[in-house]
Amino acid sequence: MSKTLVAVAMSGGVDSSLTAALLKEAGYQVIGISMQMQPDEGNGRASRPTCGSPRDLGDAGRVCQVLGLPFHVVDVRSQFETCVVDYFCTEYARGRTPNPCVVCNRQIKFDLLLRHALSLGAEYLATGHYARIERRGQACSLLRGADPSCDQSYFLYRLGETELQRLLFPVGQYTKAEVRRMAAERGLPVAGKPKSQDLCFVPEGRYHDFVAQRVSAGPGE
């Protein structure tokens, strides 16, 4: 009997890395899949590793090598620029408070990446989000993660039942401390990698400077 194929969205961080390890241990056939969202390094956008950067893709690839998993990279730079970065700059320039992570999850990770995972034959896409899914037959409900200090269900609120039926959040039942401990026990090379704090596409959190470089000044609304 063939094993269920699960694609794991690998960010290069500890959460998605442990997700891949746990699913492999549970008997699933696992492949790693990462999104290249950031331009090549050296263009001046980011001076440290960021989500979807070449350095983070390298970390994800090393984890897959340690776990003996196939690894795929999907170039979504154009879509990320249009759907997420342009949206952020437009809203910020208008004096509003954008939430690019919600938009990225809905339009990039759980749309483009999910469809790519399914095209590879995967039945599920798993991520390292701190959230849980309650399944009752064909019905799915999104629940908070077990660790209240790391809960990420808010960023996933726009996901519908169609997406939730195809998703797995294995680390949602653990605390961050437990995840780091389990990653270290398994010898994952990113077990001690710092948690990212700022938006992945804004260098050092300089939001105003970033937006000013991209949006022409005009009268306020």
Which positions are annotated as active-site residues?
104, 200
Q: What are phi and psi of 174, to 5 degrees?
A: -115, 165
CATH of 5-96+103-128+174-192, one of 3.40.50.620, 3.30.450.20, 3.20.20.70, 3.40.50.10490: 3.40.50.620
Distance CA 149, CA 1 (A): 40
Q: What are phi and psi of 128, to 5 degrees?
A: -95, 25
Q: Taking 90 as the threshold, does the pLDDT of residue 187 lie above it?
A: yes
- What pLDDT digit, counting tens, does each position of 117-148 carry? 999 999 999 999 999 999 998 899 999 999 99
Mapped onto helix, strand or coil, the DSSP state of residue 15 is helix
Q: pTM for this one?
A: 0.87
Does 120 or 197 have the greater pLDDT score?
120
Does 69 or 83 have the greater pLDDT score?
69
Average pLDDT for residues 82-93, to the nearest whole number? 89
Cα distances (Å, whole numbers) of residue 55 to 13, 147, 193, 219? 11, 28, 12, 39
pLDDT for the residue 35: 92
Distance CA 211, CA 208 (A): 5
Q: CA 160, 115, 67 angle in degrees (round to 5)?
A: 105
Within 10 A of 38 (CB to CB), how many other CB atoms are there? Answer: 23
pLDDT for the residue 49: 46
pLDDT for the residue 196: 72
